[in-house]
Chain A
Amino acid sequence: ELKVEQNPLFLSMQEGKNYTIYCNYSTTSDRLYWYRQDPGKSLESLFVLLSNGAVKQEGRLMASLDTKARLSTLHITAAVHDLSATYFCAAETSGSRLTFGEGTQLTVNP
Chain B
Amino acid sequence: SAVISQKPSRDICQRGTSLTIQCQVDSQVTMMFWYRQQPGQSLTLIATANQGSEATYESGFVIDKFPISRPNLTFSTLTVSNMSPEDSSIYLCSVEESRAPTFRYEQYFGPGTRLTVT
Contacts and interface: CB of A to CB of B under 8 A. Distances in A.
Interface of A: 31, 33, 35, 41-43, 45, 48, 50, 88, 90, 92, 95-103
Contact of A88 (B43, B56, B104, B106): B43
The dominant DSSP class at the A interface is: strand
Contact of A42 (B45, B48, B104, B111): B111
Contacts of A96: 31, 33, 48, 96, 105, 107
Nearest to B50: A95
A96 to B, nearest CB: 5
A102 B42 contact: yes
A8 to B, nearest CB: 14
Given A42-B109, A88-B43, A96-B96, 17 more contacts: A41-B111, A42-B92, A43-B109, A45-B106, A48-B104, A50-B104, A90-B43, A92-B107, A96-B33, A96-B105, A97-B45, A97-B58, A98-B43, A98-B107, A99-B45, A100-B42, A100-B43
